[in-house]
């Protein structure tokens, strides 16, 4: 469980976590109350050569199957779930990383799209890693900037902020260029062996063929100071980067 209890007093971390859980529940309810006439269910199944997340390998360098499902309701509300196989370095057990999320997207008068919501990250086995984040992003065309905040990142008794920039650019035909840059920062508390700030990036190209979406990406991160690699054994990409191949089938 995130946070701790001391006597009958709830610590700030526990109170913040409880508030985020209530917010997630409210958003989830609002999404499912959207009128069926405006609802849309979509998803995808994906196979990746390596599950690299925020600069760390969560599959110990091995391939991983993934699943994503999203329900878009009325007036911009949505709810969804993501699941992937994961295994930390040195652990023979394979498990599941899941992300349940809910939020609301709206077009602003400036032409930007504002997206806000809450996500719950879970690991089975490995419940001690579970954590909650709230997020907000601004998007224009195929580019967006997003900020995510967690009061107890990875159950480390440390609050964090993850800032990221994402974008895509059509190169011609069905081929697109994809870009990502992120920075994980600890705002309070610093886990042992972790750096205050950790950078990661990814660049890739993708195309559609035979009903599948194919992508090849080069992921690179700081070799030291990653929360997964330093604290829980997640294997960080090597200093020269890691090639990640993926095939995704939307439905």
Interval 12-45: pLDDT, tens: 444 445 555 555 555 555 545 544 445 799 999 9
Q: Which residues lie below 8 Å from residue 62, measured CB to CB, with a gap of 6+?
A: 50, 87
Structure tokens given for 59? 């599959």
Enclosing domain of residue 72: 5-250
pLDDT attached to residue 21: 55
Question: For residue 83, what pLDDT band results from cuts at 50, 70 and 90?
Answer: very high
Proportion of the chain above pLDDT 90, given as a percent: 61
Residue 108 is given by DSSP the state -
- Checking if the pLDDT of 4 tops 50, the result is no
> pLDDT, tens digit, for every residue of 143-164?
999 999 999 998 889 999 999 9
**Into how many domains does the chain fold?**
1
Question: For residue 190, what pLDDT band results from cuts at 50, 70 and 90?
Answer: confident
Residue 99's SS3 state is: strand
Structure tokens given for 210? 């035979």
| Whole-number average pLDDT of the chain | 84
Question: For residue 57, what pLDDT band results from cuts at 50, 70 and 90?
Answer: confident
Residue 20's SS3 state is: helix
Q: Scan for tokens 């199957």, then name that residue.
A: 65
Question: For residue 76, what pLDDT band results from cuts at 50, 70 and 90?
Answer: very high
| CATH of residue 172 | 2.40.160.40
Q: Which tops the pLDDT comparison, 79 or 191? A: 79
Residue 153 is given by DSSP the state G
Q: Which residues lie below 8 Å from residue 82, measured CB to CB, with a gap of 6+?
A: 66, 67, 68, 98, 99, 101
Q: Which DSSP string corresponds to 34-53?
A: S-GGG-EEEEEEEEESS-EE
Averaged pLDDT, 195-206: 94
Alpha-carbon torsion (226, 218, 215, 95), positive or negative: negative
Structure tokens given for 56? 């760390």
pLDDT attached to residue 131: 96
Q: Scan for tokens 């990409």, then name that residue.
A: 237
């Amino acid at each position: 469980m995130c946070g701790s209890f001391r006597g009958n007093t709830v610590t700030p971390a526990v109170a913040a976590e409880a508030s985020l859980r209530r917010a997630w529940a409210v958003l989830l309810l609002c999404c499912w109350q959207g009128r069926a006439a405006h609802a849309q269910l979509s998803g995808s199944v994906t196979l990746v050569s390596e599950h690299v997340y925020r600069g760390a390998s969560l599959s110990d360098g091995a391939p991983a199957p993934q699943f994503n499902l999203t329900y878009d309701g009325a007036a911009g509300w949505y709810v969804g779930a993501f699941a992937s196989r994961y295994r930390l370095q040195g652990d023979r057990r394979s498990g599941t990383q899941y992300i349940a999320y809910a939020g609301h997207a709206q077009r602003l008068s400036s032409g930007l799209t504002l997206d806000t919501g809450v996500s719950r990250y879970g690991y089975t086995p490995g419940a001690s890693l579970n954590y909650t984040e709230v997020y907000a992003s601004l998007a224009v065309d195929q580019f967006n900037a997003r900020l995510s905040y967690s009061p107890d990142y990875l159950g480390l008794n440390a609050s964090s902020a993850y800032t990221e920039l994402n974008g895509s650019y059509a190169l011609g035909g069905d081929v697109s260029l994809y870009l990502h840059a992120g920075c994980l920062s600890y705002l309070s508390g610093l886990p042992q062996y972790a750096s205050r700030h950790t950078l990661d990036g990814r660049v890739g190209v993708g195309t559609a063929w035979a009903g599948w979406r194919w992508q090849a990406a080069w992921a690179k991160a700081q070799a030291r100071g990653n929360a997964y690699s330093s604290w829980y054994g997640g294997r960080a990409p090597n200093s020269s980067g890691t090639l990640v191949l993926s095939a995704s089938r939307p439905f």
